[in-house]
Structures are given as structure tokens and as C-alpha cells.
Chains A and B, each alone.
Chain A
């Protein structure tokens, strides 16, 4: 999510971690000598809890880790994998770095965007898909490589991508 990474957005709701997430955070804290070092892992917990990280969630994390909200903002806007706005149920991540580029990754990505009627970093109105372009995801021998959420799909081609999108569209 490269070019909209400058501001956190409000969700309009207070962000309080559910008990199981709080327990995970407590376990994470035992692994580090400082609270601040737990920031990236705790932000992952926040993202897994809410799907994205709102201003309220960032402030909650800051409170738990005794950090300033400004520090958390700085970190959130540095790392590209934290979603600073809601994303679709399926985050389609197309690698367009050199090996995937040589294998026509952009063509595949553009075709998919057209089919879904959205641009990059946009979400379909039904909330099912968001498309992003990412840098090398270490799938170069199986180029073009892509990920949907946390799962690799590689090597990808038009036919396989169409089938995948169809399947994911049908899933409730």
C-alpha cells in the first residue's frame, strides 16, 4: 500500500483487544527485554484482530506498550504490510520485481484489475478483493508469483488467476 501511507484513519469505534488477543500480547511481551521491541508483533495481532489498523487501534497499542502514539504512527507508516485502511477479504498481492516482471506480471495484474473493475490499492464494492503491487516476494523461480492474504500462488498465469478469482468470488 505504497502511496497512501501518510495518515492513520479513524474507525469511529474504540479499539479494545479481545481477551485471547490480550493473552497473546502478554506472551509476546515475555520474549523481549523492552516493551517497545514487541511493537511489530503486537501490531500484527492488531491487524489480525481488526483486519486493519485504525488510529484508535494504534493508540491502544501505544498505551499497552507505553509508547507515544507518534512513535507508533511512525512505525506504521514505514512498513508496507500494515493496512492503514480496511482491505478486501482477499488481498491480491502481485509481485512486479524483476523476475516476475520478465514473466509478464504487470500484464497479469492489469488484467485482473480490469476484470474486477478496480484500480491498484482499491477494493471491490462487495469488499471481496483488494489489489496491491508488491516488491519481490521470493517466488522468482516460479514467476510470476503472487500471494492472496498469507498464501502463495505460483507460478500464476491468466487461466489459473481467472479460476482463482472465480473461486474466491463464489466463497461466502
Chain B
């Protein structure tokens, strides 16, 4: 069941980016409700808490609870809201769609959320590659200032907010909230040790809340339709609300799909409203359920697999950014793991030794196996390296993310790795892209 479209309701509408059509479709009504209807920041925070909204960026932390971490007595320091639009997790493309097609929904969510945490200056940290998204947002922000939804004394309420688009410049790690904060401060985007958490000591030494684009868009609808309405959508109150799923890979109809949280994986892949089955009638071999950082699932594991936070934790993986990448029977898992390890080796920020050294090492070993130069003991070596990289060995969870595809592929497709080593070729036939060049630092891949 597809259900009602909430977040994507306006996608595909003519001129969906303009403030005129947004207001005509009921946009900025939530802002009016809150700012002129006597809502306090506490009331808005309570509504968001009651809705069960959990962060849509990857970690799934309850949004309203996060907001309450801003100290009550703030000693006169400003509070900042940062919209995390650094969408870079391989397989993820939902925030791009929201920002390009319905920027005012995102902006309204930002204004509401800023009000809830008493923020007067908010930033949208958007990845550098989203030139178009940044241009669209800048235009929409200009429109919102002109209409009095941003700036001084918004809707005559006395509330004031400035909003600025800040472009990144190519670094996955800036999606990690403290990496993002460092980057916004004009530094290398290297994550900070926590605590202190950003809600206490964030950007410019002030309390800071970082929320994902889709999370902020949800706030608009929680105000308009109530926390109870939101909480009832989905499988249960801990996994509530409408959700955007990014479907890519070996299916007939990839794309961004909206459904109630907890959509069954099989429905997403095969449903008529969604992926419409496997391309060429091939079989499912493996599925990445939550972006490159999430453990792969086998074809058996996607039976009865609700796509929500707890559903995927139960499968020892994670919903992450809800990026579902489907691999069919022709995919060589060694090759897929090698590709994923390339990403992490390239994107490690370099400040913690286990991650800086471990990610290229994993890539090197996987490349060796993929190219037919592997040794049987390499398979155990992949697990040994992985287990020394994560679980608190590093400042942020990047290393935990980097080992998830390695441990899950080795653990679940061990025979395929063995076959690769013993036969010096793929179980599924020759790889599709012989003699591909590698742009990694030659020092990193030299054997």
C-alpha cells in the first residue's frame, strides 16, 4: 500500500518550487498556526516528541528529545539550527528531491524547528555538488524574506530568524553532525569528540541542533495535522510517520517512494506502486537496506522485513538513510564489497588511526581478492581488520559504517569469497568492467 503522499504531495505539481504555489497549496499555514496561534517553543517541542518523529538522516534519534538537550539557561549565547543537507550516503537521493522540488516545505520546517529551539540564525549545510539545490533554496529563501516568513518580526509575532545556505565542497564526513559543524566554522570537516554534544557546545561554541532535511519537512505536517495523526502512521509509535525510501539498483523502477514507516521490503521491491520487480526477472541476491553504511541482507532476510528503525535493527542492519540498493544474481559480492570499500577508503577524514589505516587496508585486501591475487587467509584478515577498527576505537562512527558492508558480505557470502580466492574469478562470471582504473592514492593500493 502506498498510502497518502505527505512529503511528496507537491512533487510533480507545476511550478512546485515557487512560494506562490506553495502558499496556494496551504504552505506556511503551520508557521502561521505556531507564530500567531499562541504556541510556545515548549508546546511545539512537545508535539514533535509526541509524534514519535525520529531523525531521517541515519541515526534515528528522536527529534523532539534532541531539541530538549539545548540548555534552558543558555547564559545569553545564541542557539543555532543546522539543516543537514549534506546527503552523501551512497544510494541516497531523497533530500535532493525535496530541496529541488519543494524547497519551501523544507524552509517552513526549518523556521518552525528554529522557533522550537529559540534559534535566531539557521544554516542549511548543503553538499557542494547540489549546485541546483542551492540555487533553488537561495531563491526560495529570498521569496520567504520578501513575504515576511524570514527576517525580523515574522508574521508580526516578534520572532526573528535569518537563514543562510552554506555550501560544502566535497566531503562525505561533513554529514556527521560534528564534522558538519567544524566545516561550517571554516575548518576541515573532522568530527569532534563527544561529549560535549552539539546541543550544548556546537557551532561557534553555542548550543546547536543538527536535523536532516526530511526530518525538518516532517515538522510542518506534525503542526498541521497533529502529533497523534503522525504517530498513527507506520508500524508502531516508535517507528512512525511518512517515510521516503530511495530505491536503486536491479529493479524495474528505481526512484524515491513515500510510504508509511515500516513498509515491507518485498513490497518496495516488487509492489506495483513501487519498484515493480526485478529488472529482467532476475533473482534478488543481496540488498543494502540503509545506504553503504548498512549491513547487506540476503534474499532470505528480506522476507518479512519492515523498513523502519527497529525492523532493521532486528535484522542486525539499519534503516540509515533508507537507501535500498538491490543487487541481483549476476552481481559479484566481492566486487560490490570492493566498490563499497573504495568509498570508505576515499572518504575517511584521516584523524583516527584505525579508520585512516583500516579503510584503505580493507580496500587493498578486497581488491587483491577481486583481482584473483587473494589468499584464503585474506578472508579472515578482512574480519580481523574490521574488528580492530570500530566499536569505540575512533572519534565518530565512520569506521563502524565502513566495516558493515565488509563484515556482512564476508559473513553472509563466505563461499563466494572462497570461490574467488580459489578460482581467481567470480562465481557469477567475468566482472563487468575489466581494467578499470583506480583513482585512489597509489600509495594506498600498492601491494
Contact = CB atoms under 8 A, between A and B. Distances in A.
B169 A81 contact: yes
B292 A98 contact: yes
Nearest to A108: B433
A58 to B, nearest CB: 13
A153 interface: no
| B: interface residue count bin | 35 or more
A96 B336 CA distance: 11
Given A80-B169, A98-B343, A135-B346, A37 B437 contact: no
Contacts of B184: 37
A106 to B, nearest CB: 4
Contacts of B368: none
Closest 9 CB pairs of A and B: A39-B186, A81-B170, A79-B169, A80-B170, A150-B131, A140-B248, A36-B186, A141-B254, A136-B90
Interface in A59-89: 65, 67, 71, 74-75, 78-82
B246 A141 contact: yes
Given A81-B129, A102-B331, A75 B187 contact: yes
A164 interface: no
Given A40-B186, A133-B439, A136-B90, 9 more contacts: A3-B442, A40-B167, A78-B349, A82-B170, A104-B433, A110-B435, A110-B436, A138-B88, A140-B254
B325 A136 contact: no
B441 A140 contact: no
Contacts of A109: 436
B432 A143 contact: no
Contact of A140 (B92, B128, B339, B436): B92
B339 A97 contact: yes
A168 B295 CA distance: 41
Contacts of A74: 187-188
B171 interface: yes
B346 A141 contact: no
Contact of A79 (B132, B168, B288): B168
Contacts of B130: 138
Nearest to B254: A141
B437 A119 contact: yes
A43 interface: yes
Nearest to A107: B433
Contacts, number: 169
13 contacts: A33-B204, A40-B166, A82-B170, A98-B288, A99-B249, A104-B432, A110-B435, A132-B439, A135-B346, A136-B89, A136-B90, A140-B90, A140-B246
B327 interface: yes
A15 B332 CA distance: 50
A135 B439 contact: no
B340 A38 contact: no
A152 B439 CA distance: 21
B347 A44 contact: no
B185 interface: yes
Given A141-B247, A147-B129, A99 B204 contact: no
A79 B182 CA distance: 13
A2 interface: yes
A75 B327 CA distance: 37
A39 B184 CA distance: 9
B312 to A, nearest CB: 18
Could you say which of A78, A134, A138 has the most chain B C-beta atoms within 10 Å of its C-beta? A138
Contacts of A65: 186
Interface in A100-142: 101-102, 104, 106-107, 109-110, 113, 119-121, 132-142
Contacts of A96: 339, 342
B186 A143 contact: no
Contacts of A147: 129
B437 A78 contact: no
Nearest to B183: A40
Contacts of B188: 74-75, 78
A55 B92 CA distance: 35
A134 B346 CA distance: 10
A102 B327 contact: yes
B249 A102 contact: yes
A120 B437 contact: yes
